[in-house]
Amino acid sequence: HLRPFQQQLEGFDRHLARGLRHLLQLPNNATAECFYAPVSRGGLGLLPLTELHAAFQVAHGWQMLNSKDPAVRRITRVQLRQIVDARHRIDSRAREGRDEELCELLLNSQLGTSPDAPPKRRNGDIGSLWVDVQCHLRTLGLKLATAPACTDTGSEAATLQLRVPHHDKWLDHRTVL
């Protein structure tokens, strides 16, 4: 998993804005807002790399959680369980059969407030895709949840699903990116 530093992405954004100013023969003190404004508003419609990277990490995490390959789903759950074990004190009996719920609570930043899982440490010394996804979900105001069963399509309730504010349906493999 690629985890570039935020400073590197911001630096590349600055370099891109400087190059576009030169290419479009704009003064050096011209704002870069026109590059990032939507096309419908007269801008170029570019996304800052930090936002694009956050969106890709959330989408990649969702794809791993909901992969059609059971081995990928199992590896994902094991990685999340390792983070839970490193960050929280959880009784093994309390954890039994609750892996999906623990994954959801961890990624939604709600596990630390649970009385069953007091935190072991306060600092964020664990770096992984899942910690980044947790941070991005919190920053973007998104939450993973259980999608209800649909009688029309015959689909069962699905855990660890994502819905974004601008889309009225739960995301699937075609709409996540």
pLDDT in tens, 96-129: 777 888 889 889 988 878 777 777 766 666 778 8
| Terminal alpha carbon distance of the chain | 17
Residue that has been written with the tokens 């369980």 in this structure: 81
Rounded distance between C-alpha atoms, residue 104 and residue 98, angstroms: 10
pLDDT computed for residue 94 by the predictor:
66
Burial 24-63 (b: 16+ CB within 10 A, else e): eeeeeeeebebbbeeeeeeeeebebbbeebbbebbbbbbb
Task: Provide the 8-state DSSP code for 156.
Answer: P
pLDDT greater than 70 at residue 6 = yes
pLDDT computed for residue 1 by the predictor:
61
pLDDT computed for residue 168 by the predictor:
82
pLDDT computed for residue 35 by the predictor:
92
pTM: 0.83
As given in the structure block, the two tokens for residue 71 are: 């081995």
pLDDT computed for residue 123 by the predictor:
64
pLDDT greater than 80 at residue 151 = no
pLDDT greater than 90 at residue 54 = yes
Which residue has better confidence, 126 or 59? 59
As given in the structure block, the two tokens for residue 28 are: 């050096």
pLDDT computed for residue 11 by the predictor:
96
pLDDT computed for residue 125 by the predictor:
65
Phi-psi region of 141 (alpha: psi -120 to 50; beta: other; left: phi over 0): left
Read off the pLDDT of residues 28-40 as tens digits, 9 standing for 90 and up: 888 889 899 999 9
Model confidence at 24, pLDDT cuts 50, 70, 90, reads very high
pLDDT computed for residue 63 by the predictor:
94
CB 54 within 8 Å of CB 136: yes
Rounded distance between C-alpha atoms, residue 96 and residue 155, angstroms: 26
Rounded distance between C-alpha atoms, residue 88 and residue 84, angstroms: 6
As given in the structure block, the two tokens for residue 48 are: 């800052």
> Across residues 150-175, what is the average pLDDT?
80
If we measure between CA atoms, which residue out of 167, 166, 170 comes closest to residue 158?
A: 170
